């Protein structure tokens, strides 16, 4: 915002203020000097004048005054802002904002302030921030006005609304104005009714509070309108909280999907529950950690892409270990599913302890790139970028896997082996090779999941353990050997979990889900989407 | 008549083994109580406690073996039954503390006072009497096993799915018992026990008696299991394990066999847990951890599944190794445990007890090819 326009709309405001003429012509130094001389009533006037000057330094000076950090240096009568307390206070020149050395507290003269002045300062700073060139500050000022509903800010709001160019901030200011109008007794019923409509459309928890306060303070039509508005807002809120729960559920579901989809493949093809699957996820997370460590020293510029670099590496690390496990242990145990379960459990203990010995038992710090941190709002829905990317990533992995299974020869072989191993072998598919590759693929995907989970969970040797039981549940619920079953299973369990949480608490919700699955398996022992094979047992 | 049936139903080896267990149960406490502390034959109190603990683990292992080794149900949740039995005993012991707790409340255990319980939850009533708590040790795990087994076996959930169900069950219980408002002491569980049946749990004589009771329980379980396995019922049970569909086609109700053994085994695990708690002096939700159940399965696998002696030997060997290694080389223990799982499943499918037979079979095969 240019200085000229800034002053143009400031003028009418200034006209109402005592000392307006001198304030406009006076420079900052005079204004500040006025601030520190005279009694409380003169100071009150000076505060308003300083605020009205529109100077950039006005806000920090006034805030310092309010906090009791504004001093006059006894030696040269310069006004300074002190930081910290104790014998030596670090000083900033109030007018220039530059460092002014340090001074002992005895050499400083504190500019006194009382509660009435603080009130004036708050209102003055509020209107200052409403006109700040920084849109974030303006937005914050508008939002805080909505909750404070400071009647004195009305005068500052009108010019701010008129000058505002950003439509979202303008809307926030208009809503703040409406909230003030609603809660001020002096306004007419017509104004109040218009304000109710505005506040109602805002539709959040603060809006409901404003409407409820208004309903208590008013009579007749206005009261009825306020109550109806509050009811509308309540319904809006319920809908949004439902949407938020669904979002959280999808987010949890995407994590479950990532963790379980590799398990679904290995379990589907070999009928083997790989208890070390969670450790493959953990290895993926640790790969991310190592990649970040290496990049930090070797190529700091690439740090922003460390997660993307880690993805193929994690796939290779976990996948290679998976193939190794299959070749060295699991292939000797085919047809003995329960023994495989025990052996892989043992393996998971070894891997955990191995990682613990190498990296230590404590959590390792994995940083998030900037494009994965932060959040934005869709309506009243909080969407964090990290979660959003994980959902996108889970879907990408899902689609890629689906394409692999449906469109490539390896996928064809894998499906053939899943459906009927002896027949597949009879038509010339090398089942041992397919087994090894399938196991490697499933483990590699677990590694990918590990990269994603390193962004939202603690990277510790126990990372995998927390997901293994949930992953089983998803696979068993969705049905074995069916990727869509896993997708539906993961999303459904995620959403159900999040919907139960508000009513039953996180732990009880989880218990209920477990009990539900235990009962569900009794009904449909082969899961939601059972694969129709020709096996006898 | 009944005793003769039980006794003669067993093989000679098992009979000797039961006598050995009883001998340990008598000699070890006796050496602790009667020998002077300077004697080389004196058994220190911690060793007595350790052996009592192992005896309880052995009972749990036998319970697991009964369903896994003889019925083909790989249970990954048997520690839950063990812990439930332990909690029943723990509740009795908590009520015995009475007004001697930190807060001195004669009715409410300390943790309830701490968590502001207004009164005793309904399910705690009766646990101040031993005659009530003792049957509960069997009934609570038994009823849970009955409910779970009833649903699972009737809908023919088998194999890995059943393993997952049992694991989910113990995991759900773990989460539930961690909650403070469940009324079981939450995270911290129950501890600071004072006395059992009027005798101090800290006293040497009480510990000796508990150790003997554990051995007696194990001996009785061995006799019962031997009788069952040796009977026609046992033959049918093993047949269900090996060819369930065929047994079904022949007109046997496979689910009834499984259910009976599953409930019996849960009850055995419950009793083992109840004997375990006063000896270690604490019960907390970590007993429900899925890892514990799987470890119990390992004891059976190491000793030899499908034999009655194997699980006992396995429980002793693995737990002795655990006690030693977690003390001397804590880093190595998980490696050793993990490797044990892999080695046993790959190379010792019949466990240590089956090793002899395995070697003999190999030698025979070699001779056959040589000849």
pLDDT by residue (tens digit) across A317-373?
999 999 999 999 888 887 787 888 889 999 999 999 999 999 988 888 888 888 888
For residue B172, give the chain A residue with the closest CA.
A511
Q: In angstroms, what separates the C-alpha of B115 from chain A's closest C-alpha?
A: 18
Mean pLDDT of A154-168: 79
Contact B298 A342 (CB under 8 A): yes
Mean pLDDT of chain B, nearest integer: 89
- Among the ranges A128-137, B189-198, B203-212, B359-368, which has the highest mean pLDDT value? B203-212
Q: Where are the domains of chain A?
A: 3-125, 134-218, 241-467
Distances (CA, A) of B193 to A174, A320, A416, B169, B281: 67, 52, 60, 28, 6
Mean pLDDT of B26-55: 89
Contacts of A347 in chain B (CB under 8 A): 338, 341-342
Cα separation, A58 vs A54, in Å, equals 7
DSSP letter for each residue of B214-245: HHHHHHHHHHHHHHHHHSHHHHHHHHHHH-HH
Q: Measured between CB atoms, which of B172, B341, B345 is closest to A514? A: B172
Residue A137 confidence (pLDDT): 78
Is B207's pLDDT higher than 60? yes
Is A447's pLDDT higher than 60? yes
Q: In angstroms, what separates the C-alpha of A511 from chain B's closest C-alpha?
A: 5
Contact A273 B175 (CB under 8 A): no
CA triple B245-B247-B251, angle to 5 deg: 110
CB A123 within 8 A of CB A149: no
Question: Which of B167, B259, B292 would best serve as a mutation to test chain A binding (most A beta carbons within 10 A)?
Answer: B167
Cα separation, A62 vs A50, in Å, equals 8
Contacts of B152 in chain A (CB under 8 A): 521-522
Residue pLDDT, tens place only, A9-20:
554 544 444 444
Q: How many CB atoms lie within 10 A of CB A190?
A: 10
Q: Rg for chain B (alpha carbons), in Å?
A: 22
Is A22's pLDDT higher than 60? no
Residue pLDDT, tens place only, A306-324:
889 999 999 999 999 999 9
Q: Does A535 touch chain B (CB under 8 A)?
A: no
CB B339 within 8 A of CB A346: yes
ipTM above 0.90?
Answer: no
Token digits of residue A535: 């096996």
Identify residues of B whose CB sits under 8 angstroms from chain A CBs. 74, 148, 151-152, 154-161, 163-165, 167-169, 171-172, 175-176, 178-179, 245, 290, 294, 297-298, 301, 331, 334-335, 337-342, 344-346, 349
**Residue written as token pair 């970040």:** A292
Conformation bin of residue A328: beta by default, left when phi > 0, alpha when psi is -120 to 50: alpha
Residue B322 confidence (pLDDT): 92
Contacts of A525 in chain B (CB under 8 A): 155-158, 161
Mean pLDDT of B211-234: 93
What is the value of pTM for the model shown?
0.76
> What is the sign of the dihedral through the CA atoms of A359, A363, A366 and A367?
negative
In chain B, % of residues over pLDDT 90: 52
Cα separation, A58 vs A79, in Å, equals 13
Cα separation, B255 vs A31, in Å, equals 93
Q: Does A366 touch chain B (CB under 8 A)?
A: no
Mean pLDDT of chain A, nearest integer: 81
Residue A23 confidence (pLDDT): 40
Reduced to 3 states (helix: H, G, I; strand: E, B; else coil), residue A73 is: strand
Token digits of residue A344: 């892989």
Q: Measured between CB atoms, which of A347, A510, A525 is closest to B175? A: A510
Cα separation, A537 vs A153, in Å, equals 77
**CB contact residues (below 8 A), chain A span 458-517, against chain B:** 469, 472-473, 476, 507-508, 510-511, 514-515, 517
Q: In angstroms, what separates the C-alpha of A467 from chain B's closest C-alpha?
A: 12
Question: Which of B165, B166, B254, B306 would best serve as a mutation to test chain A binding (most A beta carbons within 10 A)?
Answer: B165
The secondary element (H helix, E strand) that includes residue A72 is: strand A70-73
Measured in whole angstroms, the distance separating CA A232 from the mean position of its chain's CA atoms is 27
Residue A536 confidence (pLDDT): 40
Q: In angstroms, what separates the C-alpha of B68 from chain A's closest C-alpha?
A: 10
Cα separation, B290 vs B297, in Å, equals 11
Residue B237 confidence (pLDDT): 93
| pLDDT-derived band at B104, boundaries 50, 70, 90 | confident
Question: Which of B156, B254, B259, B345 would best serve as a mutation to test chain A binding (most A beta carbons within 10 A)?
Answer: B345
């Amino acid at each position: 915002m240019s200085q000229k326009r800034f002053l143009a709309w400031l003028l009418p405001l200034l006209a109402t203020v005592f000392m307006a003429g001198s304030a406009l012509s006076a420079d900052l130094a005079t204004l500040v000097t006025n601030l520190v001389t005279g009694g409380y009533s003169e100071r009150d006037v000076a505060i308003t004048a300083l605020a009205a000057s529109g100077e950039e330094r006005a806000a920090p000076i006034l805030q310092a005054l309010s906090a009791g950090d504004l001093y006059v240096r006894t030696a040269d009568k310069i006004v300074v802002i002190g930081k910290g307390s104790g014998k030596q206070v670090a000083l900033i020149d109030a007018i220039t904002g530059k460092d002014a050395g340090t001074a002992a507290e005895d050499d400083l003269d504190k500019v006194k302030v009382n509660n009435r002045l603080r009130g004036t300062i708050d209102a003055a700073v509020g209107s200052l921030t409403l006109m700040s060139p920084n849109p974030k500050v303006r937005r914050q000022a508008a939002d805080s006005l909505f909750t404070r509903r400071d009647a004195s800010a009305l005068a500052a709001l009108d010019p701010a609304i008129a000058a505002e160019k950003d439509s979202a901030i303008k809307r926030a200011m208009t809503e703040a104005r409406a909230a003030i109008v609603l809660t001020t007794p002096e306004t007419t019923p017509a104004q109040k009714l218009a304000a109710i409509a505005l506040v109602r459309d805002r539709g959040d928890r603060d809006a409901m509070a404003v409407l409820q306060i208004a309903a208590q303070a008013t009579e007749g039509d206005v009261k009825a309108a306020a109550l109806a508005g509050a009811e509308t807002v309540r319904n809006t809120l319920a809908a949004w909280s439902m949407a938020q729960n669904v979002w959280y559920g999808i987010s949890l579901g995407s994590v479950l999907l990532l963790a379980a989809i590799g398990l679904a493949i290995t379990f589907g093809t070999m009928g083997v529950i790989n208890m070390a699957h969670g450790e493959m996820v953990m290895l993926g997370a640790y790969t991310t950690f190592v990649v970040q460590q290496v990049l930090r020293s070797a190529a700091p510029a690439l740090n922003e892409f460390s997660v993307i670099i880690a993805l193929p590496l994690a796939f290779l690390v976990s996948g290679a270990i998976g193939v190794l496990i299959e070749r060295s242990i699991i292939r000797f145990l085919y047809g003995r599913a329960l023994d495989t379960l025990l052996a892989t459990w043992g393996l998971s203990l070894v891997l955990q302890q191995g990682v613990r010995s190498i990296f230590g038992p404590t959590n390792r710090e994995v940083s998030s790139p900037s494009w994965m941190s932060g959040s934005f709002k869709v309506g009243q829905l909080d969407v964090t970028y990290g979660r959003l990317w994980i959902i996108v990533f889970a879907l990408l992995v899902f689609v890629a896997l689906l394409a692999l299974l449906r469109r490539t020869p390896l996928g064809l072989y894998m499906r053939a082996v899943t459906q009927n191993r002896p027949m597949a072998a009879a038509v010339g598919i090398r089942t041992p090779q397919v087994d090894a590759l399938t196991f490697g693929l499933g483990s590699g995907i677990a590694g990918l999941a590990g990269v994603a989970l390193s962004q939202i969970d603690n990277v510790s040797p126990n990372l995998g353990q927390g997901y293994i039981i949930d992953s089983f549940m998803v696979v068993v619920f969705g049905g074995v050997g069916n990727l869509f079953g896993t997708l539906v299973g993961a999303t459904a369990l995620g959403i159900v979990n999040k919907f139960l949480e508000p009513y039953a608490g996180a732990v009880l919700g989880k218990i209920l889900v477990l009990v539900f699955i235990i009962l569900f398996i009794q009904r449909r022992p082969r899961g939601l989407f059972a694969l129709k094979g020709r096996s006898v047992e | 008549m009944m005793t003769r049936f039980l006794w003669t139903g067993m093989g000679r080896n098992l009979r000797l083994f039961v006598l050995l267990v009883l001998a340990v149960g008598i000699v070890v406490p006796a050496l602790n109580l009667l020998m002077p502390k300077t004697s080389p034959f004196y058994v220190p109190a911690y060793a007595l406690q350790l052996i009592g603990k192992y005896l309880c683990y052995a009972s749990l292992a036998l319970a697991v073996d009964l369903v896994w080794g003889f019925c083909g149900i790989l249970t990954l949740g048997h520690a839950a039954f063990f812990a439930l039995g332990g909690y029943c005993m723990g509740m009795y012991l908590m009520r015995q503390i009475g007004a001697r707790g930190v807060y001195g409340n004669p009715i409410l255990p300390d943790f309830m006072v701490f968590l502001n319980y207004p009164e005793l939850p309904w399910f705690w009533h009766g646990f101040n009497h031993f005659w009530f708590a003792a049957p509960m040790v069997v009934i609570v795990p038994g009823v849970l096993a009955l409910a779970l087994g009833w649903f699972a076996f009737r809908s023919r959930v088998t194999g890995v799915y059943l393993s997952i169900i049992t694991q989910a069950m113990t995991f759900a219980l773990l989460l539930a018992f961690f909650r403070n408002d469940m009324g079981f002491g939450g995270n911290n569980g129950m501890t600071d026990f004072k006395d059992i049946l009027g005798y101090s749990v800290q006293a040497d004589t009480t510990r000796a008696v508990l150790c003997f009771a554990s051995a007696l329980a194990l001996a009785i379980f061995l006799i019962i299991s031997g009788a069952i396995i040796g009977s026609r019922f046992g033959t049918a049970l093993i047949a269900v394990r090996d060819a369930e569909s065929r047994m079904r086609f022949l007109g046997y109700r496979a689910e009834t066999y499984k259910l009976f053994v599953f409930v019996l085994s849960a009850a055995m695990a419950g009793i083992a847990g109840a004997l375990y708690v006063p000896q270690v002096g604490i019960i907390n939700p970590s007993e429900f951890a899925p890892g514990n159940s799987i470890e119990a399965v390992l004891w059976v696998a190491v000793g030899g599944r499908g034999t009655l002696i194997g699980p006992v030997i396995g429980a002793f060997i693995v737990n002795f190794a655990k006690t030693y290694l977690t003390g001397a080389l804590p880093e190595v223990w998980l490696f050793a445990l993990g490797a044990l799982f892999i080695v046993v499943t790959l190379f010792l499918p019949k466990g240590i007890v089956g090793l002899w037979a395995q070697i003999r079979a190999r030698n025979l095969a070699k001779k056959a090819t040589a000849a």
